[in-house]
């Protein structure tokens, strides 16, 4: 195979790749993670540091002492390393666009050839018309030439109408493909269960909002929300009921946040809200409103009518300091959320309480 191995776009030596692999295996062993191919791919990427968001998430889970084996590892792999369906959809759409464009080019080529032939025919007829006008049989010759011009004109009109129809069909196909591509893009940025933005959309929006905030010397805050005792609720009442809880929280986020920010589900029962043009006091007030609104909802079993209890949230609030890395903001909001958990859950804590 040679002395070099390829990793993404980077070319690394065999020894370096081997060292990274051994480091990944050691990390997995220390964390009690089985060395399955998806798990190894995830930890190999972590060891290389080529996906900062993945490293930040794993570091956060390790710091919080969260279990990572099983479903959490599968979710990390799907979130950061898979994207297979998204890529397949984009490839399919791009291939259809390419096919439509090839058809359009072919049609334009036919039109050019037809116009060239038509011009050559008229040039020939023009020369013959001049010659016939000087001869004794001018009238009969002119009639034949005029008939020829009319015939050629009608033929060209027919060709042009056919071309117009083909171009219209091509334009309609391209418009359909453009809409399909827009749908694929929307789906790639949306959490399938709750319908709000997913982690990828959050990370993209965060970078853009940080740039805008820095240029305007404005404010930017972040809420980190976690549903209290969600795993216990899931185990007791079933995953379908758990899914309904996630959907309910997402709906409450949309209602409370409105156009003030971007609600996102970033994994499991954890949500964030990106709040541009919002300082820490205003962000905390919004978090309290959201916590209270969600806490008033009493879940019931639709079949039996039995009450399943209330949903509560632990929320951390942080404000971005212009110029700092995004990971710092995320970590402060995350730490504030865990402070809310340790303080008894169903409450809001901010970065200022961390400092105290």
92 and 17, same domain (yes or no): no
218 and 350, same domain (yes or no): yes
Angle at which helices 14-31 and 37-48 cross, to 10°: 110
Last residue of a domain, one of 153, 188, 223: 188
**Is residue 290 assigned to a domain?**
yes
Whether the per-residue pLDDT at 312 is higher than 90: the answer is yes
Last residue of a domain, one of 188, 218, 242: 188
177 and 225, same domain (yes or no): no
User: The domain spanning residue 253 has which CATH number?
Assistant: 3.30.70.270
pLDDT confidence of 4, banded at 50, 70, 90? Answer: very low
Whether the per-residue pLDDT at 8 is higher than 50: the answer is no
Whether the per-residue pLDDT at 2 is higher than 50: the answer is no
For 185, other C-beta atoms within 10 Å of its C-beta total: 14
241 and 139, same domain (yes or no): no
What is the residue range of 345's domain? 199-355
264 and 222, same domain (yes or no): yes
28 and 93, same domain (yes or no): no
**Is residue 193 assigned to a domain?**
no
215 and 322, same domain (yes or no): yes
CA distance 343 to 316: 12
Whether the per-residue pLDDT at 116 is higher than 50: the answer is yes
Q: What is the mean pLDDT of residues 51-59?
A: 83
What pLDDT, on the 0 to 100 scale, is given for residue 171?
A: 65
**Is residue 194 assigned to a domain?**
no
**Is residue 65 assigned to a domain?**
yes
Answer whether 0.75 is exceeded by the pTM: no
What pLDDT, on the 0 to 100 scale, is given for residue 11?
A: 47
Render pLDDT for 259-303 as a digit per residue (tens, 0 to 9). 999 999 998 889 999 999 999 999 999 999 999 999 998 887 777
What pLDDT, on the 0 to 100 scale, is given for residue 228?
A: 92
Last residue of a domain, one of 18, 53, 82: 82
Q: Which two tokens stand for residue 301?
A: 């079993």
307 and 176, same domain (yes or no): no
106 and 78, same domain (yes or no): no
For residues 143 and 295, the model is more confident at: 295
**Is residue 311 assigned to a domain?**
yes
232 and 349, same domain (yes or no): yes
Whether the per-residue pLDDT at 244 is higher than 50: the answer is yes
CA distance 54 to 333: 17
pLDDT confidence of 320, banded at 50, 70, 90? Answer: very high
Kindly report which listed range (1-5, 39-43, 167-171) carries the lowest average pLDDT score: 1-5
250 and 267, same domain (yes or no): yes
**Is residue 47 assigned to a domain?**
yes
**Is residue 58 assigned to a domain?**
yes
**How many domains are contained in the chain?**
3
147 and 273, same domain (yes or no): no
What pLDDT, on the 0 to 100 scale, is given for residue 293?
A: 94
What pLDDT, on the 0 to 100 scale, is given for residue 6?
A: 37
């Amino acid at each position: 195979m040679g002395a070099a191995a390829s990793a993404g776009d980077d070319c690394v030596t065999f020894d370096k790749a081997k060292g990274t692999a051994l480091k990944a295996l050691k990390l997995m062993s220390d964390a009690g993670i089985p060395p399955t191919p998806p798990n190894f791919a995830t930890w190999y990427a972590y060891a290389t540091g080529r996906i900062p968001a993945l490293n930040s998430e794993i570091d956060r889970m390790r710091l919080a002492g969260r279990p990572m084996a099983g479903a959490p590892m599968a979710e990390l792999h799907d979130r950061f390393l898979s994207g297979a369906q998204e890529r397949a959809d984009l490839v399919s759409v791009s291939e259809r666009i390419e096919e439509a464009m090839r058809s359009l080019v072919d049609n334009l080529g036919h039109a050019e050839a037809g116009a060239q032939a038509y011009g050559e025919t008229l040039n020939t007829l023009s020369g013959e018309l001049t010659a016939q006008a000087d001869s004794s049989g001018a009238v009969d010759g002119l009639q034949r030439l005029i008939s020829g011009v009319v015939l050629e004109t009608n033929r060209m009109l027919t060709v042009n109408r056919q071309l117009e129809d083909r171009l219209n069909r091509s334009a309609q196909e391209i418009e359909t493909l453009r809409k399909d591509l827009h749908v694929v893009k929307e789906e790639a940025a949306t959490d399938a269960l709750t319908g709000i933005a997913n982690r990828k959309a959050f990370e993209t929006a965060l970078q853009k909002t940080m740039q805008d905030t820095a240029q305007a010397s404005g404010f930017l805050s972040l809420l980190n929300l976690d549903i209290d005792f969600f795993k216990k609720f899931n185990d007791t009442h079933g995953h379908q009921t758990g899914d309904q809880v996630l959907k309910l929280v997402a709906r409450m986020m949309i209602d409370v946040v409105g156009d003030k920010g971007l609600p996102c589900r970033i994994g499991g029962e954890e949500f964030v809200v990106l709040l541009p043009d919002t300082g820490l006091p205003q962000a905390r007030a919004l978090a309290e409103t959201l916590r209270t609104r969600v806490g008033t909802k009493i879940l019931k079993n639709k079949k039996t009518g039995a009450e399943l209890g209330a949903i509560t949230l632990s929320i951390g609030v942080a404000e971005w300091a212009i110029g700092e890395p995004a990971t710092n903001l995320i970590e402060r909001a995350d730490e504030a959320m865990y402070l809310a958990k340790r303080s008894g859950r169903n409450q809001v804590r901010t970065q200022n309480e961390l400092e105290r």
